[in-house]
Structure 1
Amino acid sequence: MLQTHPFTRSSFWLKVVAGVALVAAADALFFFHPVGATVGAFALTWALVVAIVRPGLLKDPRALSAMAGAAGLAVVLIDRPGVLAWLLFGLMLSLAVLSARVRKGEPAWRWLQRLIVQSAVAFAGPALDMIRLSRRRSRRPGVSPVAVLKVLIVPLIGGAVFLGLFASANPLIAGALDSVRVPAPGFDGVQRALWWSVALVTVGATLRPRWRRKLIDLPSLRGSGVPGVGAASVTLSLIVFNAVFALQNGLDIAFLWSGAPLPGDIGLSDYAHKGAWTLMATALLAGVFVLVALRPGSETARKPLVRALVIVWVGQTLLLVASSIYRTADYIESYALTRFRIAALIWMAMVAIGLLLICWRLIRDKDGHWLIDANVRLVLVVLVIVSVVDLGAVAAWWNVRHAREVGGRGVELDLGYLRTLGAPALVSLVELEQTAPDPGLRDRAAAVRAEIHAQVRAEQADWRSWTWRDARRLDRVDRLAAGRPLARPTPGPREWDGRLRPPPPPPAIAPVVVSAPVAYEVAPLTSPPGV
């Protein structure tokens, strides 16, 4: 925990006490306990403690904005704890504690280096602080801990060596040493020690962040293009690429978007379901080509024909991305919606925006830092939105309303997948149970809902695993059940998708084997001799 300014006794020990208190609170809340809204409450407390022990942060507008973002993410953690929201909270808190020493206008590339340095050096922070503290005390009257250690290290190690040698030669000494039993730490004690160590390092990184002035500059993305690739080659490449892309886009417009019949035995579903990720890879390659071969300021990038071809090519690439989104949407309609497919659609939209940013950089002659900063802001905004929105609840809502069993255009409802979603699918399952026309589907939905409902109620009964969002879910279920009570599912063992398991077949009765009669050969009677 090293800073550029000298130690001040009050501030240093205040941070030590605050760090130990935070770690003790984390131990009481999370060590071998379920997590819930307590994660958000701890995050809020952590941010408040940082603001108290480092009051200078509140004077910097950037640090204040980052602290506000950390507080907002802590509220998200109270509502819906998750790994993504927790990582974003840690990022915002780290940006806040570093902002006071970073000049305005620092690009994202240098920020990334500072965050990496802070994370790496944080593990050695407590040792560095103790060394510096001992050096500072050595300049004052008194005994330095390092000096005491230097005096004692040789006697302690040497005495232990000689005592061990004498114990091997003298049974009296060996017996006395054997009678001294030091209790060995149990497995729980080792785990708790590791927990405290990691927690102290993590908390200490925000109370006393590491600092490094020398950073690696980003390699220039301006100037000449790829060595050996001239303007003629780039121009011809763009003409060829535009022609190839026009072929693919023309086919998509003719058959995918218009719905015209395909030639031969190829069905529209087969055409639509193939190639979504291949098209996305093609779009990414197009972006990389523009990024590398057409650097702003180069001779090639200044040619009007090249710039026009790039704009047309990026437009065609955006049409490819739109076709990929259309194919994925058609795939969802045929195979239901999942969290992964929602994330895929979000990724495709981000690729499209990234292509627009690359094109804008070329047109407006922006540098590489501008492009990286713009993409980092885009990623952060998307991640924050994803951490707030429950993608599982969105998938359950869509699947229930578009299922074939309820008159929708989707496929048969996969109750097994809704079961894997857990709490996010609870409200949708209740609505399905109350509106499904098929009694068998209602019974299956009731069985899956009852299991999830009981699990959520059990988690909400524990104050450590209680969450605000699940509390709202249970309130919503209670309101739905007030007008139409929920039915009890038919008792019996169930399959993963809520179907009743068929009863086991009766034990087979061994057939009675009747043996065939045995024929015995009877010898003919003969008269005794002499008769």
Structure 2
Amino acid sequence: MVSRIGNCLHGICTASPSNSFTRRINAPQAVGRRAAPDQRGCMRHGFLMKGGIVIALVALFDRLFQFGFAGAGIGIFAGAWLLGLVAARTDVRRTPHAWIAVASASLFVVALLNDPGLLAWAMFWCALSVAALLPRSVKLDDAWHWIARLTIHAFAGIAKPFADLRRLCRRRKGARTNPRAVAATLALPLAGGALFLLLFAAANPLIEQALASIRLPSPWRVLLWLFVALCLWPSLRPHAVVMRLAARLPDPEPALPGTSLLSVLIALALFNAIFAVQNGLDIAFLWSGGQLPAGMTQTEYVHRGAYPLIGTALIAGVMALAMLRPHSASEQHPWARRLVTLWVMQNLVLVASSALRTIDYIESSMLTAWRIAALAWMALVALGLVLICWRILKGLSARWLINWNALASTIVLAICTFVDLGAIASAWNVRAQTAQKIDLCYLHQVGDGALNPLIALEQRPMDPTTRDRVRFVRERLLTDLEARQNTWAEWTPRGARRLAEAHAGLREHPVQPLPIAEPAWRGCDGSIQHPPAATSQP
């Protein structure tokens, strides 16, 4: 037994995350014959080790998140999950490309420790899942197949724990264990043990007190543990169907059925003419500030169409790829290539106009986190259009195009996991707008990211009513942040830094908002609200 465990720890044999307990990963010579006794013992040891890691992670989850899934504990749990994957999967440790995914997952663990969020958690899960699946893939091939693998892994992983439990119920010869036989085997020890415990509890008050102190977990807590275990297990034993289904994907080349070279040329000429009209209007009235027709205001023209135009550019990009499929007649025709290039350039102007509309809307109202995200999305669309044009001119594959777009999107999303867009928007609004114009309800909604901008706003000159409203919102955010930072389950490093900066800005005795008496209340912007006056009935 000692030699078997030693062989396991030194990598002589490895536990397989495949569908069979009697096959080694990356060992084709083992297929078709029974594993040696030492190999089977080592595989059982590896399987039990993975089960122990899942139990330990579920126990850690229960300890960290007794009151909710929040705080730096999310980063601690993510780091423990990543360490468990590396410890349990010898094939991951032996795959060089898997260490790239492990390093990426570690980066998002840092983001989750600093200030956890849904985006950071999604990026961490993707990186961890890539590390778990890479030993079964030849290499980091293309983003198209990896998107499919992650999608299939997310859904197929739900069935994997049940399939493994079903295997555990099989005997060595392959026959299933009879549930009645199991029940008959356990009936005597369980019933007899319960009977003797009850008798000893009646005779011994110490045993009675010990049994009375036992508190079983609630059914909902047990279901939560099972759910967490179901989510953890597929990363340690991925389903074999993930690679098989993803390998059957066709090439990501969009197609327009029933089109000919003549129809493509006519369509491209028509599309270029339509886009030229739209871009000409934008250049005349949006970029140059020309006089609009009667009944149309500049605000109405600017504030409409930013997002529909982006959708138009995306549809146009996909159609451009479909019209010039590799080795098609239109792809070889010089005029088709010129017209598509011109159309892509017009789409770039369309994206630039959409960005300008968004910027003008921000200047006339306010900046929000979603508008920052929209500008970043427009930049990605513009980059995608440039890559489409380059792909057409150089005759590159659709996989090349998807890989570069996926890389750019991953970089942008990774940056967003470390940046608080709400705090950036709040700071900009405070700097660029007057106190009376700032939407305090939005700053209240942002949360502690708007706390220090509000403290800076409070020190600017303004009328007493507006200052009292600012103080109320600031005090609400400060109280909420202090309460969360004083609770270990919700504490975060970013929150600690913000709280220290807030205390330094407010000094020792911050001025409190004016008290109000019931039945009056404060709105989200700090304004004092009164109930409507009661009308007397005749």
TM-score, reference length from structure 2: 0.81
- The residue aligned with 2:240 is 211
Q: Taking structure 1 as reference, are residues 16 and 227 closer, same or farther at Cα in structure 2, changes over 3 Å only?
A: closer
The aligned residue for residue 299 of structure 2 is: 269
Q: How does 1:381-460 map to 2 (within 5 A)?
A: 381-405=411-435, 412-460=437-485
Structure-1 separation of matches of 2:279 and 2:454: 41
After TM superposition, the structure 1 = structure 2 runs for residues 223-262 of structure 1, keeping only pairs within 5 Å, are 226-262=256-292
Matched, 1:354 2:349: no
Is residue 95 from structure 1 mapped to residue 130 from structure 2 by the alignment? Answer: yes
Q: Is 1:470 paired with 2:475?
A: no
Larger Rg belongs to: 1
Shift of 1:509: 10
Aligned to 1:488: 512
Runs of 4+ residues deviating >6 angstroms: 153-156, 507-511
Contact 1:294–1:300 at 8 Å: present in 2 too? yes
Residues 222, 40 of structure 1: alpha-carbon distance in 2 compared, 3 angstrom cutoff = closer
Does residue 365 of structure 2 align to residue 331 of structure 1? no
Separation (CA, whole Å) in 2 of partners of 1:151 and 1:58? 41
Q: Residue type of the partner of 2:510?
A: L
Q: Quick check: 320-329 or 359-368, which moved more?
A: 359-368
Structure 1 residues 423-432 or 24-33, which shifts more?
24-33
* Aligned residue in 2 for 1:109: 144
C-alpha contact 1:122 1:210 (8 A) present in aligned 2: yes
**Separation in structure 2 between the aligned mates of residue 89 and residue 113 of structure 1, nearest angstrom:** 17
The answer to whether the 8 Å contact 2:306/2:358 transfers is yes
Q: How far does residue 198 in structure 1 lie from its aligned partner after superposition? A: 1.0
Which residue type is aligned with residue 97 of structure 2? R
Alignment RMSD: 2.9
In 1: Cα distance, 2:66 partner to 2:481 partner: 21
Q: Give SS of 1:490's match.
A: coil
1:341 counterpart letter in structure 2: R
CA contact (8 A) 1:221 1:367 kept: no
**Which one-letter code corresponds to 2:163 in the other structure?**
L
Paired residues of 2:253 and 2:398 also in contact (CA < 8 A): yes
Deviations 1:478-526 (A, max 9, x none): 22224x9532211124222112345986x89999xxxxxxxxxxxxxxx
Query: Letter of the aligned partner of 1:204 in structure 2?
Result: W
Q: Could you tell me the percent identity over the aligned residues?
A: 41
Corresponding residue SS for 1:214: helix
Counterpart of 1:114, as a letter, is R
Pair 1:306-2:336 in alignment: yes
Report the alpha carbon displacement of residue 417 of structure 1 after superposing the two structures with TM.
Answer: 1.3
CA offsets 1:354-388 (integer angstroms, 9 cap, x no match): 22222222112122222222222232222222222
Pairs within 5 Å for 1:281-300: 281-300=311-330
Cα separation, 2, equivalents of 1:125 and 1:86:
22
Query: Is the Cα–Cα contact under 8 Å of residues 314 and 359 in structure 1 kept in the other structure?
Result: yes
Shift of 1:125: 2.5
Amino acid at match of 2:398: G
Residues 391, 401 of structure 2: 8 Å contact kept? yes
Map Cα deviations across residues 132-157 of structure 1 (whole Å, 9 max, x no partner): 3454x525xxxx9943536467999x
Conserved in 2, the CA contact under 8 Å of 1:37 and 1:80? yes
Task: Please show how residues 511-530 of structure 1 align to structure 2 within 5 Å.
Answer: none
Change (3 A) 1:221 1:303: farther
Aligned residues: 471
| Structure 1 position 60 matched with structure 2 position 95 | yes
Structure 1 unmatched ranges of 5 or more: 157-185, 407-411, 512-531
Which of residues 171, 176, 192 is equivalent to 2:221?
Answer: 192
Structure 1 Cα separation of the partners of residues 154 and 257 of structure 2: 37
Task: Report the AA paired with residue 217 of structure 1.
Answer: R
Q: Which has the higher contact order (CA 8 A, sep 6+)?
A: 1
Q: Secondary structure at the match of 1:497?
A: coil
| Structure-1 separation of matches of 2:379 and 2:62 | 41
Displacement of 1:250 in angstroms is: 1.5
Deviation at 1:107, TM superposition (A): 2.3
Q: What is the distance in 2 between the residues matched to 1:18 and 1:338?
A: 42
Mean Cα deviation higher: 447-456 or 355-364: 355-364
Please give the TM-score of this superposition, normalised by the length of structure 1.
0.82
Q: Residues of 2 paired with 1:279 and 1:503: CA distance?
A: 45
Q: 1:127 to 1:403 in 2, by over 3 A?
A: same
Q: State how 1:494-505 maps to structure 2 within 5 Å.
A: 494-501=522-529
The structure-2 alpha-carbon separation of the partners of 1:57 and 1:322, relative to structure 1 and needing over 3 Å to count, comes to same
**Counterpart-to-counterpart distance in 2, 1:350 and 1:108:** 16
Gap change, CA 1:232 and 1:55, over 3 Å in 2: same
Aligned residue identity for 1:26: F
1:248 partner amino acid: Q
2: CA distance, partners of 1:80 / 1:155: 51
Separation of aligned partners in 1, 2:313 and 2:335: 21
**SS of 1:123 mapped into structure 2:** coil
Please say if residues 435 and 457 of structure 2, whose CA atoms lie closer than 8 Å, have aligned partners that are also in contact: no
For 2:536 and 2:125, how far apart are their aligned partners in 1?
Answer: 67
Opposite residue 474 of structure 1, the aligned amino acid is: L
In the other structure, the counterpart of 1:321 is 351
Change (3 A) 1:394 1:145: farther
Residue 159 of structure 1 corresponds to: none
Q: Which amino acid aligns with 2:172?
A: S
Structure 1 counterpart of 2:205:
none
Contact 1:297–1:365, Cα closer than 8 Å, also in 2: no
Give the direction of change, closer, same or farther, for the CA distance of 1:374–1:13 in structure 2 (3 Å limit).
Answer: same
Q: Which runs of 5+ in 2 are unaligned?
A: 1-16, 25-39, 187-214
